[in-house]
Chain A
Amino acid sequence: MSPPSRRIGLAVVVTAIALGVWGLLDTAVVPALLALRAARVPSPGGVAASRVAAQSATATTRARPAKSGVPARPANLPALSRTIHHPLPPAGTPLVAIRADLEKLVAQGDAGAACRLAFELDRCRKLPGMRSSPAFWQQQAAKTNDPKQAESLRRMQEVVQGRLGAAEQACKDFPPEEDTLLAWDYGLASALAGNRMALWHTTFFPWGLDVQHPENTLEQWSQWRELVPQLLQAGVEGGDPRLFSLAARAYLVPYFGMQVYPRDPVRSVAYLMAIAPQAAEVYRATMQRDLQFAIERGHLDAQQVEAARAIAQTLPPLKDVPPGGFDWSRGMSPDEDGSECEQP
């Protein structure tokens, strides 16, 4: 048994240590732990939000038609040129067999090869979703009692069935978990080099971008918003009637949630007027109806219609229109197989 004074002394020492620990916890450790914990809790919206917001602010300042030409290439993309072109593999060759070769051509600056890679990666990304598409159109055709509508739906079914068959062949053995976001990068790089097919797709329905779940490709959508006014302008200057049609829409209503150009119904009608004479015989009535609708929708008076006609005369000339004129009855690009990328 130890003497009482030693026991008292021991108790005092232990108490002092405990109080010291408490003091330390109270004054230093607890605030430090809380600060550490607070640092782990992201601020509202998180870092991504602020970064995207910053990009968005940039987009706002740049979202107006470029004076001319193609915008500057973002730094993360390879420098390509449409003047560098090599023969590309035959359409329908499985991507796993041609990917390495296409990548080599891209490294040499071939914009057509980048376009083809984007096309192939994008269709392999969409393949699982495409598989249910023919059945959908078949069901729609079966539902209707109107023979004309049923015929039109069956044609649609044939188009998607054909696309599905081609995609199954081209994506054979392509790993489904492959990150196909590269489709956007390749497509954009090719479009920025002025490739006609890439300009059309990057603007109209961007390769690699997720429409159903835009959050998955948020940074890429942000890039699209920033660049689309200038890409569309470049496509119009390249004389692609499809992009004239898209520009007509962009001057009227938001596109993928973005008012690409300031609303201008007169200019919108002018773009349609510029392409209407080049419509194929079978499509001319539809084109005229669309034009008339645009005039009515924009509430254009006779003077404004004349103004639109005058603007139409000043727009760039159309190029590479098929000999009989364009026919969009089955869509603007129903039979694409990737070979279109070879056209600079």
Chain B
Amino acid sequence: MRAAMKGRSTWLVVIASGVLLGVLLETVTVGVRIATSGALMPVQEHAPTVANGAVAKDVAPARVTALGKAPARMLALPPANAPLASVLPALREAGMRGDGAAACRYAMEVTRCAQHARDVESEQSMRQFLEREKGIPPQKREEIDRLMAQMRARIERDTPVCKGVPPEELKGAWRVLFAAARDGHVASMARFATTPQLLGTGGRLDFDEEALAAYRTYGLRFLEDSARAGDIAAIEKLGRDSLEPGSGTRAVPYDPVKGIAYLDALAAHAAPAYRDELSRHVEGAIAAQGIRAQDVKAGEALAATILPAWTRDDYPKPRFEPEDGFGCGPGS
């Protein structure tokens, strides 16, 4: 009897301990999930989605939680240079639904059409200028003709693509890209932070204040994440901006050591022409700013470790063309 009771109570203790252990484990798990992911939502993993000029890295892909969003269903993207008027709404919608590649492609296509409108206007102005100015020196005229030919080729390529795209579509494309970037789509982070025409900071300075405010808040994070994922344009921008003095509320803090490190690291793995350009920039900055010798050395040393391993030694300067999916990643 005593022995039977002892056996039952032992079982009860074992069961109670099991329940207790389970509860404790669950409690610990909840704590860890709160601390690491920020939400009790499924973690959506994005493969590194950097296409043009990308470095395939031996690092884990960005682990980003898409708060409150179901994993996106991927839209089959249109081929390069397809007429956009009929496909833009679907691209925008897919982008807003959380399809990062669609969001990126949408924003870059819209940027292309905005540039197309400017090209048409500029070509007209240039023609008027050339009709008016008869005494242009031959060398200057050759240079103008070369630029005009490039512009004409772009206009011819983009006219059928952008035909019928409503002007209102050209405003606010950054919001779609920004949403994808915030959701962790690496290529969208990179294009958002490195496309001046999209933010309106390229040349004409027709920036959208809200877009720029968003860039100022998130730009550094986007650049660092996409640089770690191997986006060449992001690495270059991080390096150049870190190396550029200036006051105000910066997106990228002035840090000449880091600037030298990023640009030296990139130069070491760049194609010759690109390497020369980067090296000249670093040397110019050192001379113009009087950067101390110990900071230069620190930057050179940091260059070896500031980015994960490289797999190529001939990266050209990144140029985002329609045929490359604008650097929006695989499938774009």
List the interface of chain A (C-beta within 8 A of B): 4-5, 7-8, 11-12, 14-15, 18-19, 21-22, 25, 30, 33-34, 37, 41-42, 44-46, 48-49, 51-53, 55-56, 125, 128-129, 131-132, 144-146, 148-149, 176, 178-181, 210-222, 254, 256-258, 289, 292-293, 296-297
Closest A residue by C-beta to B39? A34
Q: List 5 tightest A-B contacts by C-beta distance, closest first.
A: A216-B248, A4-B9, A257-B206, A11-B16, A146-B137
Mask, B53-78, CB within 8 Å of A = 1, is 00000000000000100000000000
Chain A residues lying within 8 Å of B8, measured Cβ to Cβ, are 4
The contact of B27 among A21, A33, A257, A293, by CB within 8 Å, is A21
Contact A53 B247 (CB under 8 A): no
Chain A residues lying within 8 Å of B140, measured Cβ to Cβ, are 144, 146, 149
Closest A residue by C-beta to B138? A146
Check: B5 CB closer than 8 A to any chain A CB: yes
Contact A8 B128 (CB under 8 A): no
Check: B120 CB closer than 8 A to any chain A CB: no
Chain A residues lying within 8 Å of B287, measured Cβ to Cβ, are 131-132
Give the tally of cross-chain contacts (CB within 8 A): 176
Chain A residues lying within 8 Å of B15, measured Cβ to Cβ, are 11
Interface stretch, picked from B79-87, B146-154, B161-169, B214-222, is B214-222
A4 to B10 Cα, complex, angstroms: 8
The contact of A297 among B125, B216, B284, by CB within 8 Å, is B125
Chain A residues lying within 8 Å of B216, measured Cβ to Cβ, are 48, 215, 218
The contact of A213 among B23, B175, B209, B241, by CB within 8 Å, is B241
Interface of A, helix, strand, loop or mixed by DSSP: helix
Chain B residues lying within 8 Å of A178, measured Cβ to Cβ, are 247
List the interface of chain B (C-beta within 8 A of A): 5-6, 8-10, 12-13, 15-17, 19-20, 23-24, 26-27, 30, 34, 38-40, 67, 125, 128-129, 132, 137-140, 175, 178-179, 182, 200-201, 204-207, 209-210, 212-217, 219, 241, 244-251, 284, 287-289
Chain A residues lying within 8 Å of B200, measured Cβ to Cβ, are 257
Closest B residue by C-beta to A129? B288
Given contacts A4-B8, A8-B13, A11-B16, contact A218 B249 (CB under 8 A): yes
Given contacts A18-B19, A44-B178, A132-B288, contact A30 B34 (CB under 8 A): yes
Chain A residues lying within 8 Å of B250, measured Cβ to Cβ, are 213, 215-216
Closest A residue by C-beta to B178? A44
Centre residue among B10, B17, B125, B244 by max chain A CB count within 10 A: B244
Contact B132 A289 (CB under 8 A): yes
Given contacts A55-B209, A257-B200, contact A128 B217 (CB under 8 A): no
In whole Å, how far is A249's beta carbon from the nearest beta carbon of chain B? 13
The contact of B16 among A12, A21, A52, A56, by CB within 8 Å, is A12
Chain B residues lying within 8 Å of A132, measured Cβ to Cβ, are 284, 287-288
Chain A residues lying within 8 Å of B6, measured Cβ to Cβ, are 4
Chain B residues lying within 8 Å of A213, measured Cβ to Cβ, are 201, 241, 244, 246, 248, 250-251
The contact of A256 among B34, B38, B205, by CB within 8 Å, is B205
Contact A218 B132 (CB under 8 A): no
Inter-chain pairs besides A15-B23, A37-B39, A48-B213, 18 sampled, C-beta below 8 Å = A14-B16, A14-B20, A21-B27, A30-B30, A46-B214, A48-B217, A49-B213, A52-B209, A52-B210, A56-B210, A146-B138, A179-B247, A214-B212, A216-B251, A218-B249, A220-B248, A256-B205, A258-B206
In whole Å, how far is A59's beta carbon from the nearest beta carbon of chain B? 9
Contact A19 B132 (CB under 8 A): no
